[in-house]
């Protein structure tokens, strides 16, 4: 009832508790064959109602696993007590079947399995008692059709399990959807911000570059040194322009960027050739294993940019001498690429922060690489997942729909 309690407000929770209390009190006071008896059974019935109501009223204050277990145990004790105490009311057996359903409201899978197993054990004990010890035939309705009752009980447990399972699946799906939504919202906002800044910087850069080109062609610059400086300045400005264009493409998908059938093997070969020298600095090698005929529908330049970012990160995380494995497999409807390193790895919280703009743990990192990667993957209807363990390494899995 944790989520139940948080999402539906206090009023609804307490109204439900009041309704349940009223029903339990009606059972205790109205037309009860044991009403007024000062025997152990009736007293136990009353005490269990008080205990259950107290637990439910206190639960919002102590919302933890222990208090949930206590509610399930007290609830089970109450329902089994009324089952044994009022043998003529055969319908209490239905309530016994549905005890595990109560735990579904708490959104706690451990509790659900606990309740399912506990109820299975209690029903077995109950049946054994009725079959072996009940000489007076007080529970004749249970005895008369043993197989029917047992199979009904099992059937009800299977139904409850199915409901629980489907419910869990739906919740997980919603969580995933919510995370993806948050992620793409974040991308959208940064994209817009980046575009605005990049746009403002591009114009002054173009002006400066134009003037530099103009002066570099003038004969007055006779000295070779000065000419070299001009070439250097123009090159640097070209790099800056490239970075800005990259930013702009995040916000406004460039319509001119054509979609094509990309040969994964060829692109990855050129990426590994390019990064080979980068790995050599700390003696890291790249192992490439690609299935034949892996084709995807994307933009080759952007796909290359994506793989460079991911493999570069893997090399940067690796210890010296380790290899980075790039493995590509063709599955039925998609191409799956894995970039595996045995480097420093990441904690769960770090993995959750990936793709956030400017998130970087490196002294010279920009924290933009993965943001761009997420953007490219999303654009080509792919998926990217990180599996990482601290000090053991990281596996990045990227999937794209395959183009046969």
For ligand ADP, the binding residues (CB under 6 A) are: 309, 313-314, 317, 341, 343-346, 354, 359-362, 365-370, 394
By the 8 A CB rule, do 370 and 394 touch? Answer: no
User: What count of other Cβ atoms lies within 10 Å of the Cβ of residue 159?
Assistant: 13
Residues 6+ apart with CB under 8 A from 80: 96, 122, 126
Binding piece for Mg ion, criterion CB under 5 A, among 83-91, 107-115, 179-187, 310-318: 310-318
Instruction: Give the separation between CA 101 and CA 171, rounded to whole angstroms.
Output: 17
Among 76, 149, 190, 313, binds Mg ion (CB under 5 A): 313
Nearer residue to ligand ADP within complex by CB, 111 or 324: 324
Among 191, 355, 369, 382, binds Mg ion (CB under 5 A): 369
Residue 402 engages Mg ion in binding (rule: CB under 5 A)? no
CB nearest Mg ion: which residue?
Answer: 369
- Beta-bridge mates of residue 336: 329, 399
Q: How many residues bind Mg ion (CB under 5 A)?
A: 2
Q: What is the DSSP string of 290-311?
A: E-SS-EEEE-HHHHHHHHHHHH
Q: Which does 157 bind (CB under 5 to 8 A by kind): ligand ADP, Mg ion, none?
A: none
Binding piece for Mg ion, criterion CB under 5 A, among 196-204, 263-271, 350-358, 368-376: 368-376
Torsion (CA) 51, 54, 56, 61 in degrees, nearest 10: -140
Please report how close the Cβ of residue 262 comes to Mg ion at its closest, in angstroms.
22
Nearer residue to Mg ion within complex by CB, 56 or 315: 315
Residue 321 phi, psi dihedral angles, 5° rounding: 95, -15
Closest CA to 327 of 345, 344, 314: 314
Q: CA end-to-end span of the chain, whole Å?
A: 49
Residue 191 engages Mg ion in binding (rule: CB under 5 A)? no
Nearer residue to ligand ADP within complex by CB, 92 or 313: 313
Instruction: Give the separation between CA 19 and CA 14, rounded to whole angstroms.
Output: 9
Residue 342 engages Mg ion in binding (rule: CB under 5 A)? no
Binding piece for Mg ion, criterion CB under 5 A, among 151-159, 328-336, 365-373, 384-392: 365-373
Please report how close the Cβ of residue 59 comes to ligand ADP at its closest, in angstroms.
41
Tokens of 191: 């994209």
Chain contacts with Mg ion (rule: CB under 5 A): 313, 369
């Amino acid at each position: 009832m944790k989520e139940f309690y948080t999402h539906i407000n206090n009023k609804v929770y307490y109204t439900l508790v009041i309704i349940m209390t009223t029903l339990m009190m009606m059972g205790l006071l109205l037309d009860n064959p044991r009403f007024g008896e000062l025997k152990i059974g009736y007293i136990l019935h009353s005490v269990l109602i008080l205990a259950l109501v107290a637990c439910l009223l206190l639960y919002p204050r102590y919302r933890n696993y222990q208090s949930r277990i206590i509610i399930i145990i007290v609830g089970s004790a109450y329902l089994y007590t009324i089952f044994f105490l009022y043998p003529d009311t055969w319908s209490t057996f239905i309530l016994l079947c549905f005890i595990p359903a109560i735990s579904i409201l708490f959104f706690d899978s451990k509790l659900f399995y606990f309740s399912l197993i506990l109820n299975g054990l209690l029903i077995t004990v109950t049946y054994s008692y009725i079959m072996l010890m009940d000489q007076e035939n007080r529970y004749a309705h249970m005895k008369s059709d043993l197989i029917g009752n047992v199979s009904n009980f099992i059937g009800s447990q299977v139904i409850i399990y199915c409901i629980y399972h489907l419910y869990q699946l739906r919740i997980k799906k919603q969580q995933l959807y919510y995370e993806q939504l948050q992620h793409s919202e974040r991308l959208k906002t940064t994209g817009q911000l980046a575009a605005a800044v990049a746009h403002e910087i591009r114009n002054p850069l173009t002006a400066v570059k134009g003037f530099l080109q103009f002066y570099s062609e003038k004969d007055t610059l006779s000295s070779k040194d000065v000419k070299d400086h001009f070439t250097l300045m123009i090159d640097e400005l070209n790099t800056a322009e490239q970075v800005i264009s990259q930013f702009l493409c995040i916000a406004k998908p460039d319509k001119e960027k054509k979609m094509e059938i990309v040969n994964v093997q060829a692109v990855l070969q050129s990426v590994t050739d390019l990064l080979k020298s980068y790995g050599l600095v700390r003696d890291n090698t790249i192992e490439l294993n690609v299935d034949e005929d892996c084709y995807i529908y994307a933009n080759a330049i952007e796909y290359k940019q994506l793989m460079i970012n991911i493999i570069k990160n893997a090399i940067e995380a690796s210890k010296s001498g380790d290899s980075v494995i790039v493995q590509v497999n063709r599955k039925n409807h998609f191409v799956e690429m894995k970039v595996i390193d045995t480097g420093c790895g990441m904690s769960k919280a770090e993995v959750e922060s990936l793709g956030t703009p400017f998130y970087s743990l490196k002294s010279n990192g920009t924290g933009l690489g993965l943001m761009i990667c997420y953007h490219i993957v999303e654009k080509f209807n792919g998926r990217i997942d990180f599996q990482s363990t601290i000090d053991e390494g990281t596996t990045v899995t990227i999937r794209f729909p395959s183009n046969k």
